[in-house]
Amino acid sequence: MNFTYPKKEKLKSKITIGLLFTDGKSVSKYPLRLVYHSAALSDGQKIKMGVSVSKKNFKKAVDRNYFKRILRETYRLNKHILIDNLDSPCALMLFYQTKDRLSYDEINTKTIQLFEKFIAQNVKKDETDATTIQVTE
């Protein structure tokens, strides 16, 4: 198991981030929200991930950076949930959406629940697509 978050996995493309905000779909598990868009990624990666913490909720950059660091760490440790269950490449953005200062353990638990909810939603969508293809044939 590779528990790294290499530079190739970081979401930096303005075009891809724009796609997330215009065409992306969302899954939420308080206080986290995952926005995703299935798209062919340019460098052959399976996942591109970015994190964001609102300036509205945390005025000081120190606080925002702390929660971004925690989000990146929880992603790094739990990304195997996503990689093992995704069929197509996906761009993801993880948002921390509350003023509450949750502990690392609480955020880690919510991240796991969010990833599982995302996978369940995608697998269900893929199954319905497969049944429509079978019915039309």
Which is higher by pLDDT, 94 or 86? 94
State the Cα–Cα distance between residues 33 and 43, nearest whole angstrom: 26
Which is higher by pLDDT, 133 or 84? 84
Label the pairing between strands 90-96 and 25-29.
unpaired
Query: How distant, in Å, are the alpha carbons of 42, 59, 61, 127 from that of 68?
Result: 25, 14, 10, 34
CATH assignment of the domain containing 49:
3.30.230.10
Residue 99 in any domain: the answer is: yes
Residue 133 in any domain: the answer is: no
Sheet holding 25-29, edge to edge: 25-29, 32-38, 90-96, 47-53
Residue 134 in any domain: the answer is: no
Instruction: Give me the mean pLDDT over the 89-115 stretch.
Output: 95
What is the domain range of residue 49? Answer: 7-127
Total number of domains in the chain: 1
Residue 34 in any domain: the answer is: yes
* Residue 49 confidence (pLDDT): 94
Residue 136 in any domain: the answer is: no
Residue 2 in any domain: the answer is: no
Q: Give the tens place of pLDDT for each residue, 63-73.
A: 999 999 999 99
Residue 68 in any domain: the answer is: yes
Stated pTM of the model: 0.85
Residue 1 in any domain: the answer is: no
